[in-house]
Structure 1
């Protein structure tokens, strides 16, 4: 896909790429995205997902693969934040995202570790850059409103784009079309409702209840698995696999989630079940990383 890079002229003096206070803050937004992806990697037990403990349901990657990917992506998120601050057209964001995917695949020897995260966190970094360029305070509402106002039409058009499916996104889109699910593209066009209405409130709610960061992130992950149309699960296990994954997540939450002495042990049992069935909720993992990023950067002006 050859997208044309272009910058809109809405805010020509919004950011000085070679220095300045706002440029430093934009770099901070991007670095926070890499830290958030590390937060997700370090969490365990995560049902079917890679961590420092094991490779979950994946035979082609481990934690070291993810670390190589994170190192390769360390510059892409700051670039996307700068593009957002400069009023970039969606084509510019898409071009940077495709270049980031290429760097990821080179670092991982062809293994897809963070394609969905590049898309989600990249858009959020761009949206945050636009918010900061206006001098506004970062918050969930500002991020969503900016995402829709600046790139909503382009995201909607992308979600309904006709023609052959790009090979790099074929599996998730094919699963969504086959089973009538809402994939990452339509989710983004709606300004990530699951992230902002389920994952982030779950993370913040658990922290307010006194949960440690590990438990709060685990609670948020399970609440996300329980409701998300995760095309990674559908690709691996069909609609039956997706629904099977949602049931134990819902059961875990109904029993009290992480707010029990046996919470971590129950999460470990769900993890073992996912591994046995080769199920991996990669979409939910992306939402968790995004929630960790929002939690970290919100309040920045």
Structure 2
């Protein structure tokens, strides 16, 4: 099997595995829409399957890249990402299911295609100067993205900043955690890994729908769940239900954390 096919298959698995994990506070899963009333698990499956050709394109771009300046590799995959987003919106009837995942998986697929043994360092080289370039002159720009609005309001660099640093939350926290806590119940291992991500990351989706206090509160819930033995423990399970109620009552989405779980799963499968 060609490398691009292997990588794309694992990326697609990661997209599908993430939506199947349950119960996920503030996220769509097979039993709950949480705060996402316009989508369900089938919306995410349709979206993931529609992205399959572009996952291969991202990987092939990395395989084919022969230059020395890896920022050029990143520039070369941005048009693929734009095509993937358009296809996603067509598949979902205009609903944003995987925009953040397209960004991160695209980067990591290209990095893996280029050098599967040094994905993190390749990612850092690809994205050198990303936040500086993307966030300059925002005070005069019209039609700001949500990420740009968060940067201007709170100074949060969001997924761009996390990516430019080489996804430290994933490589240094969630991926080692999943490897160390992988057990017979893969779904529960992934749910605990999601809590690790929530506890360690600055999810701009939470801040967008709420505020910085909302972020601190969901981080505290996740930390407490892990300290009580994880989601499968009786105390952890109760806290998880409380966390879900908090997210629902305050219309909070943990979409940024879900995207980091997707790439954690992808890297775990490599």
Query: Normalization by structure 1: what TM-score?
Result: 0.81
Give the direction of change, closer, same or farther, for the CA distance of 1:256–1:159 in structure 2 (3 Å limit): farther
Give the direction of change, closer, same or farther, for the CA distance of 1:63–1:286 in structure 2 (3 Å limit): same
Q: Which residue of 1 aligns with 2:36?
A: 58
- Secondary structure of 1:89 counterpart: helix
Q: 2:102 aligns with which of 113, 118, 121?
A: 118
Q: 2:8 aligns with which of 22, 30, 36?
A: 30
Q: Deviations over 1:127-155 (max 9, x none)?
A: 000015xxxxx3xxx11111123x13253
C-alpha distance in structure 2 between counterparts of 1:43 and 1:61, whole Å:
16
Q: 2:256 aligns with which of 270, 283, 286?
A: 283
State the Cα distance separating 1:211 from its structure 2 match.
5.7
Q: Which residue of 1 aligns with 2:193?
A: 220
Q: Deviations over 1:205-226 (max 9, x none)?
A: 211xx46211211111011111
Q: Which residue of 2 aligns with 1:201?
A: 176
Q: Which residue of 1 aligns with 2:69?
A: none
Q: Which runs of 4+ in 1 moved over 6 A?
A: none
The answer as to whether partners of 2:74 and 2:127 remain within 8 angstroms in 1 is no
Instruction: Indicate the larger mover: 151-160 or 189-198.
Output: 151-160
Q: Which residue of 2 aligns with 1:143?
A: 119
C-alpha distance in structure 2 between counterparts of 1:228 and 1:107, whole Å:
30
Q: Deviations over 1:157-178 (max 9, x none)?
A: 44444346685x7113312331
Q: 2:128 aligns with which of 126, 145, 153?
A: 153
The count of corresponding residues between Structure 1 and Structure 2 is 263
Q: Deviations over 1:171-222 (max 9, x none)?
A: 1331233123231111111111111112112211211xx4621121111101
Q: Deviations over 1:69-95 (max 9, x none)?
A: 112101111100000111163221111
Q: 1:266 aligns with which of 224, 227, 239?
A: 239
C-alpha distance in structure 2 between counterparts of 1:197 and 1:114, whole Å:
24
Please tell me whether residue 177 in structure 1 is matched to residue 152 in structure 2.
yes
Q: 2:89 aligns with which of 105, 108, 130?
A: 105
State the Cα distance separating 1:227 from its structure 2 match.
1.8
C-alpha distance in structure 1 between counterparts of 2:166 and 2:142, whole Å:
22
Q: 1:41 aligns with which of 16, 19, 25?
A: 19
- Secondary structure of 1:120 counterpart: helix
Q: Which residue of 2 aligns with 1:13?
A: none
State the Cα distance separating 1:102 from its structure 2 match.
0.8
C-alpha distance in structure 2 between counterparts of 1:105 and 1:280, whole Å:
19
Instruction: Indicate the larger mover: 171-180 or 100-109.
Output: 171-180
Structure 1, gaps ≥5 residues long: 1-20, 133-137
Q: 1:92 aligns with which of 76, 84, 87?
A: 76
C-alpha distance in structure 1 between counterparts of 2:134 and 2:162, whole Å:
9
RMSD: 2.0
C-alpha distance in structure 2 between counterparts of 1:97 and 1:119, whole Å:
7
Give the direction of change, closer, same or farther, for the CA distance of 1:30–1:176 in structure 2 (3 Å limit): same
State the Cα distance separating 1:258 from its structure 2 match.
3.2
